[in-house]
C-alpha cells in the first residue's frame, strides 16, 4: 500500500491482492505459525478494506538432504493492484522542485523504530528482537486516502516509502534521483541509528514551498500528522541533524557512488571493464539530459484521422518480431491506415506490397537472433526471387517510403536499402555487437541532424529522449569511402548525444559505441529511413521514461 499510494486509484476498496505463500506447514510448529500469519493478514485487510482474489500456495517447502531437514523460511509475498482512471496521476520518488521544496514525513508507526529484521541488522550479522508491524491499520488507511487526495490536487511532487532500508535510504534515494542535496533537521527520542534505519511504515513527501500550507491542510482534514524534515537544496551536499547534532554531512555524489558500487562491481563482470569504468565516471556528476524541442508538437488534425482514404502502411513483422502494436498505434495516430502484415502473408501470396505507400519493419528478435541480427529475416527476402523482386520494386517506386526500427533497421542494412542500393556486400554498412558486449535496454538521448530524411523533415535540432533495446546496434562501416559519403551527404540523420547535446561515443550515453554516435541511416532521396532506437515506443507523453518537470 505504501507503494501503491503514489498512483491515484479509483477506490481503495477495489484494491485486490495476490498472496503467494511459501511454507512447510507439516513440520512441528509451522502449521500454527501459518494459521497466525493468515489470521493476521486477514484482520489487517479487513480493517483496511481490501481483499485477496488470487495467488499461489507452495506448502511443501521442505525436503530431506541426507539426515537433515531443509525447510523454506516462512514467507508470504503480497502484491496489490487496482484500477486508475488517469494514468498521468502518478508521483515518482525523484525530487523535482530542487531548492524550492520541503520534505514532510508521515510516521505510520506511532513513533516506534523497531530494528528487527532490518537491512542494518543484517549488515551486522544480527536479526534483532522486535520487527516492524502495522499496528494501526485504520491510520494507514487514513494516510493512504489523505496522500491520494493531495496528489489529486497536485500538491505532492515526489514521494517514497521508508519500509525498504529505512528513512535514511528513502531520503538518499530521493536525492540521488533528483540529483540534488538535502538540509534536514529532525527530532527523535531514539538513537540516530534507530531513527534512520528502522524499516517501519512511513511516507516521505516533497511539496513545493508555495503549496506547503495547502498540503498540511489536506493532511489535517484526514487527521494525519506530518513532520517537516527540511528542504531540498541545489548544492549537492547531504546534511542531516538529529536533535541539533549533525549525523551526516557528505557530498551527495560520493554517497551515490557508494550506493552504486555493488552494481558497478557486478557490471565489471558482465560487460567490458572499460564501459563499466566509463559509466561510473560519466554518471558521477551528471547534470541530466538537456532536451530541445525545435518545433511545437501538435496532435494530428481530426480531419486526417477521420478520412476514409488514408495512405496504407504495411507494418511488417516476422517470427520473433515485437513492437508491431506500438508501431501500428503510432502510424494510426499520425493519420495513416496501418495493416498488420507478416512475412508468411507475403510468402504465401496472400498480399503484396503493391497497394502500400509505406512499409515499417518493426523491432524485435527475428528467429531469436540465432543467425545474428535480422540475418534470418533478410535471408527470407534475399533468397526468394518473388520477395526480392517485390521489395526492390517497392523501394524504386517514387511514391513510397519505409521505416526500419531496431531489428528492422538491421534488416534494411542487410538488404542494402540504406544508405543506398547496390553497395558491394563486403562494403555494406551493418549493425554489429554492442561494444559493451551485452544487450542494452536504456532511455537514451538522441539529436536530429540535417538530412534528407522525409520522416524527420522540420525536426532538425531536436534533442529528446528515446528508448533503446538492442544487443547489436553498433554501426560498422567496412569501407571508409562509404562512411565518407554518408557523412558528406548527411545520410546519418540521428546521433546519440551526451548531457551537453553533443554527439558522443561515451558509454552509457552511446549504448552501443557507434562511431560519432550515429544511430541510423537514410537514403539519398530521404524516402527510406532506418534507426536503432525505438520512437514508436514513446509517441505519447506518458510513455516517456523521463521528462523535465
Query: Which residues are catalytically annotated?
Result: 406, 534, 536
From CA 147, how far away is CA 531, in angstroms rounded?
43
Task: Using the CB atoms, write b or e for 443-475: b if 16+ within 10 Å.
Answer: ebbbbbbebbbbbbeebbebbbbbbbbbbbbbb
What angle do helix axes 375-382 and 385-396 make, rounded to 10 degrees? Answer: 90
Strands of 5-146 (E only): list them. 16-22, 51-58, 62-65, 68-71, 75-81, 101-107
Q: Is 67 left (phi over 0), alpha (psi -120 to 50) or beta?
A: alpha
From CA 452, how far away is CA 412, in angstroms rounded?
17
From CA 546, how far away is CA 536, in angstroms rounded?
16
Q: Which residues pair with 19 in a beta bridge?
A: 55, 78
429: closest CA among 440, 416, 439? Answer: 416
Helix (H, G, I), strand (E, B) or coil at 356: coil
In order, the DSSP letters of 412-461 are HHHHT-SS-S---GGG--EEE--TTSS-EEEEEEEEE-S---GGGTT-TT
206: closest CA among 165, 154, 252, 243? Answer: 154
Q: State the CB neighbour count (10 A cutoff) for residue 50.
A: 21
DSSP state of 74: P
Element (H, E) at 273: helix 273-283
Q: How many CA atoms lie within 13 A of 400 on its CB side?
A: 22
DSSP state of 310: P
From CA 532, how far away is CA 361, in angstroms rounded?
12
The set of residues, in sequence order, having a beta carbon less than 8 Å from that of 233 and lying 6+ positions away, is 98, 99, 180, 181, 182, 183
From CA 215, how far away is CA 152, in angstroms rounded?
11
Q: State the CB neighbour count (10 A cutoff) for residue 422.
A: 6
Q: CA geometry: angle at 113 spanning 111 and 115, to 5°?
A: 170
Q: CA geometry: angle at 25 spanning 22 and 31, to 5°?
A: 120
Element (H, E) at 531: strand 528-531
Helix (H, G, I), strand (E, B) or coil at 17: strand
Amino acid at each position: 500500500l505504501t507503494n501503491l499510494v503514489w498512483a491515484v486509484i479509483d477506490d481503495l476498496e477495489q484494491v485486490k491482492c495476490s498472496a503467494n505463500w511459501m511454507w512447510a506447514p507439516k513440520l512441528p510448529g509451522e502449521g500454527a505459525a501459518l494459521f497466525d500469519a493468515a489470521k493476521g493478514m486477514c484482520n489487517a485487510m479487513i480493517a483496511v478494506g481490501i481483499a485477496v482474489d488470487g495467488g499461489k500456495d507452495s506448502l511443501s517447502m521442505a525436503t530431506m538432504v541426507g539426515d537433515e531437514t531443509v525447510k523454506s523460511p516462512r514467507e508470504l509475498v503480497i502484491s496489490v493492484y487496482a484500477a486508475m482512471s488517469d494514468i498521468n496521476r502518478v508521483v515518482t520518488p525523484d525530487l523535482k522542485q530542487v531548492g524550492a521544496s520541503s520534505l514532510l514525513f508521515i510516521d505510520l508507526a506511532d513513533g516506534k523504530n523497531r530494528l528487527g529484521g532490518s537491512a542494518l541488522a543484517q549488515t551486522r550479522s544480527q536479526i534483532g528482537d522486535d520487527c516492524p508491524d502495522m499496528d494501526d491499520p485504520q491510520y494507514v488507511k487514513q494516510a493512504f486516502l489523505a496522500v491520494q487526495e493531495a496528489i489529486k490536487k497536485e500538491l505532492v511532487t515526489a514521494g517514497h516509502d521508508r519500509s525498504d532500508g529505512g528513512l535514511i535510504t528513502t531520503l538518499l534515494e530521493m536525492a540521488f534521483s533528483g540529483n540534488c542535496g538535502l538540509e534536514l533537521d529532525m527530532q527523535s527520542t531514539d538513537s540516530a541509528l534507530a531513527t534512520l534505519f528502522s524499516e517501519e511504515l512511513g511516507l516521505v513527501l516533497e511539496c513545493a514551498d508555495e503549496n506547503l500550507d495547502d498540503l498540511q491542510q489536506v493532511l489535517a482534514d484526514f487527521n494525519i500528522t506530518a513532520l517537516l524534515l527540511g528542504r531540498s537544496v541545489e548544492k549537492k551536499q547531504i546534511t542531516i541533524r538529529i536533535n541539533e547534532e549533525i549525523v551526516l554531512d557528505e557530498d551527495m555524489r560520493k554517497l551515490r557512488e557508494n550506493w552504486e558500487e555493488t552494481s558497478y562491481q557486478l557490471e565489471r563482470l558482465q560487460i567490458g571493464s572499460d564501459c563499466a569504468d566509463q559509466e561510473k565516471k560519466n554518471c558521477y556528476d551528471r547534470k541530466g539530459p538537456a532536451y530541445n524541442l525545435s518545433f511545437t508538437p501538435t496532435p494530428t488534425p481530426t480531419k486526417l484521422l477521420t478520412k476514409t482514404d488514408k495512405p496504407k502502411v504495411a507494418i511488417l513483422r516476422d517470427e520473433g518480431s515485437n513492437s508491431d502494436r506500438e508501431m501500428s498505434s503510432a502510424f494510426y495516430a499520425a493519420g495513416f491506415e496501418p495493416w498488420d502484415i507478416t512475412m508468411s502473408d507475403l510468402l504465401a501470396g496472400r498480399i503484396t506490397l503493391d497497394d502500400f505507400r509505406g512499409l515499417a519493419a518493426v523491432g524485435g528478435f527475428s528467429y531469436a537472433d540465432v543467425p545474428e541480427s535480422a540475418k534470418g529475416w533478410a535471408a527470407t527476402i534475399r533468397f526468394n526471387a518473388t520477395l526480392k523482386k517485390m521489395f526492390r520494386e517497392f523501394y524504386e517506386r517514387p511514391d513510397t517510403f519505409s521505416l526500419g526500427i531496431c531489428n528492422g533497421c538491421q534488416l534494411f542494412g542487410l538488404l542494402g536499402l540504406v544508405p543506398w542500393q547496390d553497395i558491394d556486400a563486403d562494403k555494406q554498412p551493418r549493425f554489429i555487437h554492442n561494444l559493451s558486449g551485452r544487450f542494452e535496454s536504456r532511455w537514451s538521448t538522441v539529436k536530429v541532424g540535417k538530412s534528407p530524411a522525409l520522416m524527420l523533415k522540420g525536426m532538425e535540432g531536436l534533442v529528446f529522449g528515446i528508448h533503446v533495446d538492442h544487443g547489436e546496434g553498433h554501426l560498422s562501416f567496412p569501407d571508409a569511402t562509404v562512411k565518407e559519403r554518408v557523412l558528406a551527404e548527411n545520410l546519418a540523420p540521428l546521433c546519440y548525444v551526451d548531457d551537453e547535446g553533443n554527439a558522443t561515443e561515451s558509454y552509457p550515453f552511446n549504448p552501443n559505441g557507434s562511431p560519432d554516435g550515429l544511430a541510423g541511416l537514410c537514403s539519398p532521396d530521404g524516402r527510406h529511413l532506418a534507426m536503432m532506437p525505438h520512437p514508436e515506443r514513446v509517441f505519447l507523453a506518458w510513455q516517456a521514461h523521463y521528462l523535465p518537470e
